[in-house]
Amino acid sequence: MKQRFKILGNKTTKCLLGLTLFSIVFSCSKYLDVVPDNVATIENAFALRAEAQKYLYTCYSYMPNDGDPSSDPAILGGDEIWALTDPTFPEFNHSMFQIAKGLQSSSSPYADGNWTNLYKGLRDCNIFLENVGSVPDLDDEEKKQWIAEVTFLKAYYHFYLVRMYGPIPLIKTNLPIDADVNEVKVYRESVDSCFKYIVQLIDEAKDELPLIIDNPAKMLGRITQPIAYSFKAKVLVTAASPLFNGNNDQITLKNNNGTQLFTQEQSKSKWDSAVVAAKQAIDICQQAGMKLYTYNPEFQQYDLTDTMRVQMGIRNVFTERWNSEIIWANTQSIASLIQRLATPNVDHRYIDNPRIIYELAPPIKIAKEFYSDHGVPIEEDKTRSHNELALRDATSKDNLYIKQGYTTASLNFNREPRYYANLGFDGGIWYGQGRYDDAAPDDLFYVAAKKTQPNGKVQPDKGSVTGYFVKKYVHYQNTQGTGVNDYTITTYPWPIMRLADLYLLYAEALNETGASQDNVLEYVDKVRERAGLKGVKYSWDNYSSNASEYSTQNGRRNIIQQERLIELAFEGQRFWDLRRWKRSIIEQNKSITGWDIEQSTANFYYRNKNVFNQHFGLKDYFWPINDNNILVNPNLVQNIGW
């Protein structure tokens, strides 16, 4: 490697060898393949502001593709959305779906590309930080901001790896070209050390970042103070959660030098730190003018009812670009394909449109998780018949939720607004897509999902296997026609974090510290109010058969967790939340069920049909490290069970 290095010429003598754990090291020539504009040397890459800025964007380019069903395990790797098992002509790579089906392995792990890619990203972040100080035409203020951005990215990339793998090797600096072979055979750091370093990086960065973006046309998506402060809160809540805080299931995970990688004692102080961080983040977001989003456009063609306004507020908080609630959206991940995979052909004039696939299918258990219209779990609502399979005909009072006169299951009636805003189902109204007058509900589009109906599953490569659809992903202004490319999609960058997420993290942390009932529920109720629901105390007192649940810490914990699973449904949060709460082993050992989609009449369609029996074991909480990495570096111990 040294011989090869010399051939590159004298100007490369400052180049640092990037540590990449999938093959121990890369030579500088390998690195130079990815320098912007094919710059020949590190010196040239930082010779001018313009070139250094390209390198800054290279550091951003390693952001994982959130919301991409081909690469984001949080979309199809859990139990929230099911897909076609074996499509003949798949619209996307189904490898993440193999995780949900229990086919993960250490010889060729799914989503293993994140290990490779993020360690490359860390190497490039380090190169940037080591060299940006030499850029002659970069003023001090901008230099501080760029350094802070890349320092934050280092924190984020480490965090993403920790969520996947647990304890990881930390890449604080790159190794020099003449590093001894033993220096590159790194160990995994304890999980507490990992979180401590991630928080340290955020603290170094957060106050050097701008409060808001002053050039939205060019810079939206760049790191700001609200992003850094809010992300710190998420990191600390994660660190305090049962998966990482005194996880006795991981007692045997040790380095081969004897280092214990998981502390076995639970620490309440971790929750205390999370409370402080979350409150600071909320204050910063308020300073930046952020607030929970409500639908109030400057212009709209029709005067909408309150019912539809609430629904539009819930839908648009995710799909409207850079609305008042978005703290951070990933501009590397633009939601386009996923909208085609989520929407049924609700304009029944064009049912043969080949661009609309409607494959992504929530199971019935996800539909059941949403509250009743009284804001309590459906199994606890005292006013509700619990025969959810019983058939009912929709009446005029239902006509903004369900097509009037349509026969569907009781499960679909009298649900909270988020149910109708997030889910499509047989008989359900699908507002938008070119029809916006809710004063004429008979003209609004609706889903017809039984066999032989326009949205039934009649082809092997399209259609919902459960009878449910993910309305949340689909922008209400998309329109469809009959041509091959005739589906107009309004795209948006994938939201990574929004204010409702932060509010619920704060409530969760407060509850775990033993804070008062009123303080804990304050921010839960803010989220519920935007969703068109009364506060927790009112709803449970008046409608729940478990009325006292909110009065205990454990009861509030259950309420907060369900609120997160509902409010953040389909956003890639459930996958990670169930893990950090150590609830995956419960939820992902339940059967995936749907309606009997092979039936054409309501009496037979509305029967629970088993789609798949999931299995999740303790080993599945963390990814296996690729066997090849361990073969190359025996100091990398494998995760338990793999």
For 434-469, give one letter per residue: b (16+ CB within 10 A) or e: ebbebeebeebbbbbbbbebbbbbeeeebbbbbbbb
Separation of CA 611 from chain center: 24
Average per-residue pLDDT in the chain? 92
Q: Is the pLDDT of residue 55 over 50?
A: yes
The domain segmentation of the chain, as residue ranges, is: 1-71+111-201, 336-491+518-622
**Band of residue 535 on the pLDDT scale cut at 50, 70, 90:** very high
Q: How confident is the model at residue 634 (pLDDT cuts 50, 70, 90)?
A: very high
**Domain 1-71+111-201 shares a fold with domain 336-491+518-622:** yes
pLDDT tens for 167-181 read 999 999 998 877 887
Q: What is the pLDDT of residues 420-474, one digit of tens each?
A: 999 999 999 999 999 999 999 999 999 999 999 999 987 888 899 999 999 999 9
Q: Average pLDDT for residues 42-50, to the nearest whole number?
A: 91
Instruction: Indicate whether 577 pLDDT > 80.
Output: yes
What element of type H or E holds 271?
Answer: helix 268-287
Cα 159 from chain centroid? Answer: 14
pLDDT above 70: percentage of residues in the chain: 94
Domain 336-491+518-622: which CATH class?
Answer: mainly alpha
pLDDT at 583: 98
Whether the pLDDT of residue 23 is over 70: the answer is no
Q: Per-residue pLDDT for 4 more than 50?
A: no
Q: pTM for the full model? A: 0.93
What does the pLDDT read at residue 484? Answer: 67
Residue 637 is given by DSSP the state: P
pLDDT of residue 298: 80
Q: What is the pLDDT of residue 36?
A: 41
In the predicted structure, residue 28 carries a pLDDT above the cut 80: no
Tell me the average pLDDT across 81-85: 96
Q: Which residue has the higher pLDDT, 158 or 354?
A: 158
Q: Does the domain at residues 1-71+111-201 carry the CATH identifier 2.60.120.260?
A: no
Q: Which pLDDT score, from 0 to 100, does residue 310 have? A: 97
pLDDT in tens, 193-226: 999 999 999 999 999 999 999 888 788 899 999 9
Q: Is the model's pLDDT at 20 over the cut of 70?
A: no
3-state secondary structure 389-419: CCEEECCHHHCCCECCCCEEEHHHCCECHHH
pLDDT higher than 70, residue 52? yes
Mean pLDDT on 370-389: 96
Query: 3-class SS at 186?
Result: coil
Question: Does 30 have pLDDT greater than 50?
Answer: no
Gyration radius (Cα) of the chain, Å = 25
> 92-149 pLDDT, tens per residue?
999 999 999 999 999 999 999 999 999 999 999 999 999 999 999 999 999 999 999 9
CA-CA distance, 418 to 563, in Å (whole number)? Answer: 11
Residue 41: pLDDT band (50, 70, 90) is: confident
Alpha helices in 432-516 (DSSP H): 499-512
439 vs 62: CA distance, rounded Å:
47
d(CA 493, CA 343): 18
250-283 tens-digit pLDDT: 999 999 999 999 999 999 999 999 999 999 999 9
